[in-house]
Amino acid sequence: MLEAAIGKMRGGGYKATPQRTAVLRALAEEQHQSLEEIRARCPGVGLVTVYRTLDLLSELGIVRRLDLGDGARYEMAKDHHHHAICESCGDISEFEKCPLDPTLLPLEASDFEVRSHSLEVYGRCAACR
């Protein structure tokens, strides 16, 4: 898990420092954390280093940055998935089954080459109903 990420860093010519490993461990503990949440999980690491590490991990494809309106959040990059966001409690859950119907994409015809997509579903989670 972390070994793979550390290997990818070394392979890219980057050092595997204790700070970077600490940030990785923090990210592994929970998905969709804000910068401050990540920082709380690795108190020894300086603010600037957390920012820089998240940038580096994003470039390496290890981390994905989410912009869901209320500030940036970060997650370990996993398989293609989407998010269900509760408008009441803010909880973010994931689902893998992609409800996009490719045949309905009206863009292929219009010269726009689709590379990826991002879908978020908003509503009320079970607990908040």
Binding footprint of Mn ion on the chain (CB under 5 A): 31, 75, 94
- Pick one of 38, 45, 57, 63: the residue that binds DNA (CB under 7 A): 45
Structure tokens at 120: 């978020």
Report d(CA 39, CA 51) in Å as an integer.
Answer: 10
Q: Which span (3-11, 15-23, 28-36, 93-101) binds its own copies, by CB under 8 A?
A: 93-101
The angle formed by the CA atoms of residues 3, 74 and 87, to the nearest 5 degrees, is 140
Q: CB-wise, 10 or 117, nearer to its own copies?
A: 117
Residue 27 in contact with residue 60, Cβ under 8 Å?
A: no
87/94 with CB nearer Mn ion: 94
Of 96 and 113, nearer to Mn ion (C-beta) is 96
What is the smallest separation between the CB atom of 25 and its own copies, expressed in angstroms? 26
29 alpha carbon, distance to own chain's centre: 13
Quick one: DSSP state of residue 33? Answer: B
By CB under 8 A, the count of residues binding its own copies is 37
